[in-house]
Structure 1
């Protein structure tokens, strides 16, 4: 299993940062399951930190303003190292009808399924129902060719 942590780690205790770095470093070449923990993560934070990195590259002359596009932004987001950083389907539990500042950029073309149960209460039938609903949808990706 590969382990990754996304989110703002700057205010974490040094011992926790060291443990995270150790876990990520020792599992970086593992294949199969990729466990991603979102720790102090928010979609707005993710977009802001990516924007700052890109702005610094423009300021330093590494890239030009005209070079900024979707793909460049993708390379600076916290999810950049994930094999599938943009979810096809988000199953939102607990009856909430919002995304709660989660993966704002990455969910742009995702499909949503809202379930009026808390995550631990979900069973196989709930997952099958969500997947069947997803299969019936016609995905248009906002008219973009993805």
Structure 2
């Protein structure tokens, strides 16, 4: 049963990308997908590639879709990439720092890879392996409502809560 559900969701996602691609082009929306694409059906991989290629010059908005994405996998693939570069002599061990790791994460596709605010719906109080590195200084807002019921009132509440916070980015004051 679970496999049928996953296949249905993948086909649904593929149809959604195809149906919205012209709108993204018209509205100058760049589409990027982060995650382990090798786990996706080939037809979906092809649709994703087409969407990314045909919108890569769009500058008005940037839509980033996390599909088959996991924060642990993201960090591991960044480490593998860095290790490969060190083995090939492209970098020295002393070159490895936070900045280099950040350049290898999947969110390198965007100018703004670090969310200021994460809104977690459904009463969950965890981040569920999502953007583990990128959320280091992110503010969190936990909402009881499930995503389909999360509306404008809840969004305004999250933004109001965010506005009242003192951002310290890891500092004490």
After superposition, residues 1-146 of structure 1 pair within 5 angstroms as 1-143=29-171
TM-score by length of 2: 0.80
Give the paired residue count: 144
SS at match of 2:161: helix
Greater shift, 6-15 or 65-74, is seen at 6-15
Question: Cα distance, 1:55 vs. partner?
Answer: 0.6
Stretches of structure 2 that go unaligned for 5 or more consecutive residues are 1-28
TM-score by length of 1: 0.94
Name whichever structure is richer in helix by fraction: 2
1:64 and 1:140 map into 2 onto residues whose CA distance is: 32
Task: Work out which structure has the larger RCO, using CA pairs closer than 8 Å and 6 or more positions apart in sequence.
Answer: 1
Question: Cα distance, 1:15 vs. partner?
Answer: 2.2
SS at match of 2:31: strand
Stretches of structure 1 that go unaligned for 5 or more consecutive residues are none
Question: Cα distance, 1:67 vs. partner?
Answer: 0.8
CA RMSD, Structure 1 to Structure 2 (Å): 1.3
SS at match of 1:40: coil
2:108 and 2:136 map into 1 onto residues whose CA distance is: 15
SS at match of 1:75: helix
1:15 and 1:120 map into 2 onto residues whose CA distance is: 28
SS at match of 1:100: coil
2:79 and 2:62 map into 1 onto residues whose CA distance is: 26
1:65 and 1:81 map into 2 onto residues whose CA distance is: 25
